[in-house]
Structure 1
Amino acid sequence: MTLARRATAEAVGTGVLVATVVGSGVAASRLSPTDAGLQLLHNSLATGAVLVALIAALQPVSASFNPVVTLVEWARGSLDRRQVTALVPAQLAGGAGGAVVANLMFELPAVDLSGHDRATAATLLAEVVATAGLVVVVLGSLRSGRVETVALAVGGYIAAAYWFTSSTSFANPAVTAARALTDSFAGIAPASVLPFVAAQLVGGVVGLSAAAHLFPTHEETR
């Protein structure tokens, strides 16, 4: 498997994921303009469903779509530094492209910086929780060795985390940065991006530590 192919898969997957998050948010706000709960339901179902599809389709090549997950894989020895430095920029670029495409599909400006400030103490704690949970779900489901288990677990978790976290579970630095490019339902103000990303990185460390305790390797169980 060439690194270029893996980077392409990460860019495409992250791009489609962001296009789904942004596009379904715009569609939901237009279809249900007075019902925020219904808007979130549309958005969460679309995001969960597309994650199942993308992971199932791209897992044979590469299907992290998330810099935190990629960094966790590096910390666990599954990736080397050269791979990380190729995959993370691909995720960031793909996410930005997905936001632009979604804006254009709904006749919005290609880039329209969001004015939706989201960073509060509560939402930052929510991002730590959401990201830590995602890492545990990913690492735990990977132990099954079955692609469908990973896809369903991750898609289901994210769809649920939209509802049980006050931040609506961004849990992904590439998606977070990309969502700053749209002033729509799914947008996040640029000033909120760095605090969200910092919280997600903390969540990644927490999730990795929890997974190491829950799912020890053979060497650690001796």
Structure 2
Amino acid sequence: MAKVGSPMNPSAEKIAATKPTAVYSVTTLKDQFDKSFKQQHITPHFLNLQTVADLQHVVTQMGQRYDRQRAARQANAEIKAAIRTAQQRSHRRSKPRVLVLMGLPGAGYMIGTSKSYVGDLVRLAGGRNVFTSKTQEYIQPNDEAIQNAQPQVILRLEHAMPKLVTSQFQQEFKKSIWQQTPAVKSKRVYDLQEPDFDATANMHVARALRRVSDWLYPEE
């Protein structure tokens, strides 16, 4: 199999050399790669995978396009079952306050809002994201806002260079701001890594949702 670069830095020239019949990427990378693809006369399909519902829609589309409708229905049925289970688990229970963080290799972290993919998992699992937004998936951290939010659960996404990002988070969480949060005091800080978790939805979404549900509503 031809190597065409890294996931976050593919070579449009090398991709073009393989003469693909179709090229797929995600909408979050369109601004970054669209120009280089066009220079190679490639028209990629940018898939919207920002939420679980978006993923289900894409799965249905792909099933139709590649004559895999049965497999698509099975995949979506598994996702729907995971959603039902999570909703049943959280029914009539107090919503925990959840803080989502996305680690950036060598550059700290960002806060994941309700608009982010992990934020969508939190919503489906019955949690309340302490940072909401109608337009922004990620925002700059603010120590005062984090302290005021008093998160009961913290989810740390470490999808890129997880060893480095995990180490960064471990150092960051030694600071007093974190030690004073309810989540740290009750040891409810969880690390999210591939393959189950990513910045956009993937085919591990059912398992990812089950894990988030377990963290938000642990067995008593």
Q: What is the TM-score with the length of structure 2 in the denominator? A: 0.24
Larger relative helix fraction? 1
Q: What is the TM-score with the length of structure 1 in the denominator? A: 0.24
Larger relative strand fraction? 2
Report which of the two structures shows the higher radius of gyration computed on alpha carbons.
2
